[in-house]
Structure 1
Amino acid sequence: MEERSAQFIKGEEKGALYDAYNLLHTLAQDFQKPFDAPAVLVVGHQSSGKSALIEALMGFQFNQVGGGTKTRRPVALRMQYNPKCESPQCFLQGDDGVERAKTLGEIQEYIESENSRLENDPVRCFDSREINIRMEYKFCPNLILIDTPGLIAAPKTPKGSSANMQSRALQASAKEAEKLVISKMRCKDYIILCVEDTADWKHGQTREIVQKADPDLSRTVIVNTKLDTKIPQFGDPEDVEEFLKAPIVSKLAPHKLGGPFFTSVPSGRVGSGDSYLFRTDDEFVSSCADNEEKDREVVKSRLKAGPLVTKALLPRVGISRLRGFLERRVDECYRRNVAKIVPLLQAEHAAASTRLKACEAELDSLSIERLKAGADAFCDGFCASLKEAIHGSVVAPPGTFGETLAQENLKAGSFHDRCAMAVSERGWERLVVSDVGNRDHRLYGGSQYHRALREFSLATKCLRLPTITEDEVANAAGVGDTHDGVNFLRAACVIAVEKARTSFDPLLDSLKLRTNHIMDNLFPVAEYMLRQKMERQSKNKGRNDGSEIITNPQFRELVKTIFENFIEECSESCMRRCRDDLTALTRYITWDLNERSSGALRRSLPDQGDIVSVYQVAVASNEKAKKADKTTPAKHEGAADVSERALVKPAEYGNRQISANPNERERDYYNLLQLMEEAACARDANRTNLVVSGLVQHIVAQWRESFGKSVCTKFNCFYLLPFVEEFQRHLRSELQRVYEGDMTHIFDLDESKRVLQRQVDDLKNECAANKRLQEKFDSVSQMLQEQQKEGGGGNAQQKAPTRGGNKKANGRR
């Protein structure tokens, strides 16, 4: 009778403990409080049997199971044992924080719809927000299980080669999933269930990732799934024993929390169709129990090391053994954390009470003037946050507001895709990694802007020099008004001006789109930073006057419109200056021989090899002239000698000053004479194409460098700096214009009162729930203390006779 009474008291105490933590979890979810109830976080790679293991632990099926990514949002399952529930009773928490009763089918549809949404999302593949489900069932343990997205084993790209688009997408998804899972594992109150699907303990992919958050595995329980398929792989009993003992795991992680456990789950699904193996969840639970018995019998038959070894290893086999171990560990966490919960609740209650008093005072003194003061304070704070985001900040989480270069290119376009580049796509990616940097980092604000300018600078350097067709050269050559010779410089300038405009304009438009996109993203960043700052101030000093204006959607939309218009004004102003520079750069060509030395014109022509072919026409014509004119051989011979000497120019000739030596002056004279003769009196297509193409590419190459530097300077001075120096004055002036007109649609007193009243009601509810929860945990703590005292007294009573008996026994000896 006493034993039954003790069990009843223990069960009552345990129920009160779980009930208190369920209330704590509800308070944390409803009022966004930092209370983390002890939970089991399930981590594993895709197709490792993770979701099937969770269903076996719960006692019913509800999730998508199979290959590929079936879980893209963590699913938090708050399970409660209820022997009265013959079928699972499920409740889904919506985005508004309200818990609603749902059927299993409705919950499955919701999870599948979320998976489909994220699968088609162009920006991200996973979402760290948990899908919160509470369920009561006769087979449920008292646990909170969190099912995380399956880790992806993406293939590595060999050195010296580049991954294709599909491989890069898979690698990006793998990194995103791993980052999400690691962030979840960092919570110290979570027990990590590491799911491995391996027959060789030397290789543990999941274990390696878990150790990034829990290096010594002191919070980790290891479980190996699909045991029924692994035992047949071992030929010798010694191999089976070594696999079950996992000595290498114990050596590598001697402080691990538990395991390894070994489980197998039946592969059939619950349903009414012919393709379903089980008709009800009861059949599924019975099949899980049968599988466990079969696995234990197989292990007994394969082990031949003796009963002691078998007895030591069998407790690791089976779902029920794993479930019992997890329940005991979570129960220990519950009991251990009871003492520290009450002080946390008291601190939160004091902060909520302070905010409640400030809200009530604000509600009593609400007026138009206070709302205007709040609007002005909001503007000043918003501009300060905007400057901080441009200068550099980490207040806004990069995972939420930042963008990688690939995400930015997807939304606002890439320089490489919009403009003709001289490098391939693979070469461009290598240059982006080496010259731009931060390709895979999520940036916002000034850091993202600077990355875009670095990419623009790289794009100007890699811009493909224009290709000039023979038709263009022939049309640009034309005929002069005094002679029919080719004016190489004029033809080159005509083509260069047109080619430069068609090359530089798309690059400039792309930069405008990119910078506007970056600045558009700054509005929610600055708003978030301001809200965080105001929330911290309200916790310490109470509410600021008129701060409820930030919850007014009309006022927020007004500020956003002013911000977007300012972006457009700065963009247009900067683009006008850039286009003026571009026009000045391409409209008139200056051959500054003093600045670039007398070799500038020579360097603008084709190289030494090509220049020989340019003058081959002259060689041929001179040879024909010698053969044709036999009457004056000496004269032509001298001319031919001079011409032949002038055909190939030494490499150093154009880089030195013209010598005063008479022989060199004579040679220079004949060189000049020959060049003028060819330019004025002959029209050869090959020569003209080579010379004009060389000149055009030289001109555009020089413009390209000047264009890149000039545009970067203009954007820094006339696009970025106005947001730091002028936007606050502009915002104040625009708001002043609004104040002078009709303000009823912005400063609506009735709406502001309703907002404040809702906040007052929410704070009152929070304080009341907090107070009830404190009383609940106080009673649980008192029950635990009484149980410890009774347990200690019982142990003392049991030990006393033993010590007395030992004395009597010693006396008899």
Structure 2
Amino acid sequence: MGDAFKFFVTLANCMVLEFLIVSLQIDPELSRTVIVSTKLDTKIPQFARASDVEVFLSPPACTLDGFILGDSPFFTSVPSGRVGSGPESIYRSNDEFKQAISLREMEDIASLEEKLGRLLSEQERSRIGVSKLRLFLEELLQKRYMDSVPLIIPLLEKEYRGTTRKLNDLNRELSTLDEAKLKEKGRTFHDLFLTKLSLLLKGTVVAPPEKFGETLQDERVNGGAFVGTDGLQFPQKLIPNAGMRLYGGAQYHRAMAEFRFVVGGIKCPPITREEIVNACGVEDIHDGTNYSRTACVIAVAKARDTFEPFLHQLGCRLLHILKRLLPISVFLLQKDGEYLSGHEVFLRRVASAFNNFAESTERECHEKCMEDLVSTTRYVTWSLHNKNRAGLRQFLDSFGGTEQSAASGNSISAGLAQESSFGSVTNDKPDIKPKADVKLSHLASGIDSATCAQTTETRLADLLDNTLWNRRLAPSSERIVYALVQQIFHGIREYFLASAELKFNCFLLMPVVDKLPALLREDLESAFEDDLDNVFDITNLRHSLGVRKRDTEIELKRIQRLKEKFRQIHEQLCLHQVMSKLSPVSVSH
């Protein structure tokens, strides 16, 4: 440990520690590092004992673990002074400077031998001086070069084959730049592109989800979220497959499922008393109130404001999903080697036609859905809007039953009172004949009928007073309006949800399958007839292919020269190895 400590102390005095730290970060084991201690001529006078020189020149093996290149450091000295013809220059030529380096090397060896009191060994001399460092690096470079030659030749062969294949492809592509072949290539690409689109809608796992898939959160960010009037979004955890990265038909289905979850769970917005009173208004023939009309006015206004934003959001979301099919289809074409590389103008035309078709189809579908929403919020059809009439009837029956029971109680009380009065008469005159009893019973029943009719008329008058003539909003009227609005709103919601999903499936999704092929083919044939050169940009394409062909030919010649050169080197190495094996045999003979 003492020798190692001395070595590191000495080494710290002759090396820049920062550089050593950087070297250790790059090459922790120093297996690719050559350690060089410079300014040896200034270090030698610092050694007081021969043992210090011994440790400095030959550090213990455990210190550096024997992993560094050359197994031990090199020690060099370079004379100070510039080379040139100026007054500040000490050396007039490079040869003069080289000679000074050689003299310094000899002086360093002599000084070390004087400190050691002995001659340096060959191993020690091989590490002292710039010339020895240069010789070591040249031999190391030559060895690495020779070791790499057998590996370089196969790599060059592979590169040569790849470049030859590329040149053949360019020649083949140049030979197909005539109208008939270009049209055929365009039609073939059209069919292959549509095949990939259909495959994505039906479902596939060829495209990697980690590259092309979107989670529900990504989809909301890129395609828009379903946000209601309250500004809140539906929790993602309640949507099936929300965390999965989907594309194509699977992503379309998830978006529709979220739309059903969100819209299907919407409740009717709150209704204020002011809204009810304002909705009453004045009729064109009387100034009474019509609460059924009031409920319709409020319900359709609430429904229109609530559901129309979701229609726009659904269109944007599904359009985003459809447009994503284009880059995924291009990837599938490239993966199968069916992509028209080099025909960027034609490919941009196909992409533009697809995007325009998707946008126009979404607009048409949106207009159809808006027609349904406008119709169902413009005129209330009770057989359509009042889906849950049983629930409404139960509510109204429970509401009216309270008043009816109260009125019935009053009628019964009155009847009992009258009956008791007649009973007192019969008790006073028990000798009345049975015929008189019959007349009395008829009289009593007539009185009861008259009393019920009078009660019904009173209730009808009260009802008209509360609902038709009186503008003070009673709790009963408010409850009736609220119940009607709820029923109408829920009926509109169910119809809107079913209609929107059906129309987007029929007029947005299905046209991609049954209308897009004919539209793209029509656009393609029309472009072929108008100006084929602009569709494929034949002039620029021929020029570009010509430039690429010349560059490839130059690259092929360069690889050929390198291949021949390394083959010759390899043959010389093999011959040298054979001769080196034969020479000892000949000497022994």
Which TM-score applies when normalising by structure 2?
0.57
1:359 to partner: Cα distance: 2.4
| Pairing 1:137-148 to 2, within 5 Å after superposition | none
Work out whether residues 466 and 499 of structure 1, in 8 Å CA contact, stay in contact via their aligned partners in 2.
Answer: yes
Secondary structure of the equivalent of 2:530?
coil
Q: Distance in 2 between matches of 1:769 and 1:637?
A: 126
Work out whether residues 176 and 182 of structure 2, in 8 Å CA contact, stay in contact via their aligned partners in 1.
Answer: no
Q: Distance in 2 between matches of 1:672 and 1:437?
A: 61
| Pairing 1:24-423 to 2, within 5 Å after superposition | 57-58=25-26, 350=161, 353-416=164-227, 418-420=228-230
Is 1:525 aligned to residue 328 of structure 2?
Answer: yes
Structure 1 alignment gaps of length 5 or more: 1-52, 61-78, 87-334, 537-546, 639-667, 790-813
1:582 to partner: Cα distance: 2.0
1:377 to partner: Cα distance: 2.0
**1:723 corresponds to which of 512, 524, 528:** 512
Q: Which amino acid aligns with 2:305?
A: T
| Pairing 1:428-439 to 2, within 5 Å after superposition | 428-429=234-235, 432-439=236-243
The change in CA–CA distance for 1:485 and 1:343 in structure 2 (over 3 A counts) is farther
The change in CA–CA distance for 1:729 and 1:596 in structure 2 (over 3 A counts) is closer
Work out whether residues 315 and 362 of structure 2, in 8 Å CA contact, stay in contact via their aligned partners in 1.
Answer: yes
Cα deviations by residue, 1:602-630 (Å, 9 ceiling, x for unpaired): 15x4796xx48x967x899x79x97xx9x
User: Partner residue of 1:144?
Assistant: none
The change in CA–CA distance for 1:504 and 1:670 in structure 2 (over 3 A counts) is farther
Q: Distance in 2 between matches of 1:435 and 1:373?
A: 46
Work out whether residues 491 and 692 of structure 1, in 8 Å CA contact, stay in contact via their aligned partners in 2.
Answer: yes
Q: Distance in 1 between matches of 2:353 and 2:571?
A: 59
User: Partner residue of 2:466?
Assistant: 682
1:343 to partner: Cα distance: 7.6
User: Partner residue of 2:377?
Assistant: 586
Q: Distance in 1 between matches of 2:537 and 2:307?
A: 50
Secondary structure of the equivalent of 1:534?
coil
Q: Distance in 1 between matches of 2:544 and 2:455?
A: 89
User: Partner residue of 1:747?
Assistant: 536
Q: Which amino acid aligns with 1:746?
A: V
The change in CA–CA distance for 1:560 and 1:354 in structure 2 (over 3 A counts) is same
1:783 to partner: Cα distance: 12
User: Partner residue of 1:444?
Assistant: 247
User: Partner residue of 2:61?
Assistant: none
Work out whether residues 484 and 681 of structure 1, in 8 Å CA contact, stay in contact via their aligned partners in 2.
Answer: no
**1:577 corresponds to which of 332, 354, 368:** 368
Bigger-Rg structure (1/2): 2
The change in CA–CA distance for 1:737 and 1:784 in structure 2 (over 3 A counts) is same
User: Partner residue of 1:494?
Assistant: 297
1:710 to partner: Cα distance: 1.9
The change in CA–CA distance for 1:701 and 1:748 in structure 2 (over 3 A counts) is same
1:535 to partner: Cα distance: 5.6
User: Partner residue of 2:496?
Assistant: 707
| Aligned-pair identity (%) | 32
Q: Distance in 2 between matches of 1:756 and 1:493?
A: 70
Q: Distance in 2 between matches of 1:675 and 1:786?
A: 126
Work out whether residues 574 and 719 of structure 1, in 8 Å CA contact, stay in contact via their aligned partners in 2.
Answer: yes
User: Partner residue of 2:414?
Assistant: 634
Q: Distance in 1 between matches of 2:358 and 2:164?
A: 42
Work out whether residues 361 and 507 of structure 2, in 8 Å CA contact, stay in contact via their aligned partners in 1.
Answer: yes
Q: Which amino acid aligns with 1:434?
A: L
Q: Distance in 1 between matches of 2:169 and 2:195?
A: 25
Q: Which amino acid aligns with 2:239?
A: D
Work out whether residues 444 and 518 of structure 1, in 8 Å CA contact, stay in contact via their aligned partners in 2.
Answer: yes
Work out whether residues 465 and 701 of structure 1, in 8 Å CA contact, stay in contact via their aligned partners in 2.
Answer: yes
Secondary structure of the equivalent of 2:346?
helix
Work out whether residues 170 and 545 of structure 2, in 8 Å CA contact, stay in contact via their aligned partners in 1.
Answer: yes
Equivalent residues, number: 412
**1:555 corresponds to which of 337, 346, 367:** 346
Q: Distance in 1 between matches of 2:402 and 2:286?
A: 21
Q: Distance in 1 between matches of 2:567 and 2:417?
A: 119
Q: Distance in 2 between matches of 1:785 and 1:701?
A: 91
User: Partner residue of 1:513?
Assistant: 316
Secondary structure of the equivalent of 1:567?
helix
Secondary structure of the equivalent of 1:599?
helix
Work out whether residues 485 and 681 of structure 1, in 8 Å CA contact, stay in contact via their aligned partners in 2.
Answer: no
Work out whether residues 252 and 318 of structure 2, in 8 Å CA contact, stay in contact via their aligned partners in 1.
Answer: yes
User: Partner residue of 1:477?
Assistant: 280
Work out whether residues 420 and 464 of structure 1, in 8 Å CA contact, stay in contact via their aligned partners in 2.
Answer: no
Instruction: Answer 1 or 2: which has greater helix percent.
Output: 2
1:761 to partner: Cα distance: 4.8
Secondary structure of the equivalent of 2:382?
coil
Q: Distance in 2 between matches of 1:80 and 1:755?
A: 45
Work out whether residues 487 and 679 of structure 1, in 8 Å CA contact, stay in contact via their aligned partners in 2.
Answer: no
Q: Which amino acid aligns with 1:450?
A: H
User: Partner residue of 1:212?
Assistant: none
Q: Distance in 2 between matches of 1:769 and 1:785?
A: 24
1:508 to partner: Cα distance: 0.2
Q: Distance in 1 between matches of 2:491 and 2:304?
A: 14
The change in CA–CA distance for 1:448 and 1:575 in structure 2 (over 3 A counts) is same
The change in CA–CA distance for 1:483 and 1:375 in structure 2 (over 3 A counts) is same
Cα deviations by residue, 1:16-39 (Å, 9 ceiling, x for unpaired): xxxxxxxxxxxxxxxxxxxxxxxx
Q: Distance in 1 between matches of 2:405 and 2:577?
A: 112
Which TM-score applies when normalising by structure 1?
0.43
1:388 to partner: Cα distance: 1.6
Q: Distance in 2 between matches of 1:481 and 1:365?
A: 79
Instruction: Answer 1 or 2: which has greater strand percent.
Output: 1
Q: Distance in 1 between matches of 2:185 and 2:34?
A: 51
Instruction: Flag the structure with more relative contact order, 1 or 2, with Cα contacts below 8 A and sequence separation at least 6.
Output: 2
Work out whether residues 472 and 495 of structure 1, in 8 Å CA contact, stay in contact via their aligned partners in 2.
Answer: yes
Q: Distance in 2 between matches of 1:347 and 1:674?
A: 106
Q: Which amino acid aligns with 1:700?
A: F
Is 1:697 aligned to residue 500 of structure 2?
Answer: no
Work out whether residues 356 and 763 of structure 1, in 8 Å CA contact, stay in contact via their aligned partners in 2.
Answer: yes
User: Partner residue of 2:108?
Assistant: none
Structure 2 alignment gaps of length 5 or more: 1-20, 39-146, 419-451, 468-472, 579-589
**1:599 corresponds to which of 383, 390, 402:** 390
1:750 to partner: Cα distance: 2.3
Cα deviations by residue, 1:384-422 (Å, 9 ceiling, x for unpaired): 222222222333333333322222212232103x5447x
Q: Distance in 2 between matches of 1:675 and 1:352?
A: 101
Secondary structure of the equivalent of 2:204?
coil
Q: Distance in 2 between matches of 1:502 and 1:637?
A: 58
Cα deviations by residue, 1:505-555 (Å, 9 ceiling, x for unpaired): 00000001111122222222222222222269xxxxxxxxxx4xx433332
Task: State the Cα RMSD in Å.
Answer: 5.0
1:734 to partner: Cα distance: 1.2
1:348 to partner: Cα distance: 7.1
The change in CA–CA distance for 1:724 and 1:787 in structure 2 (over 3 A counts) is farther
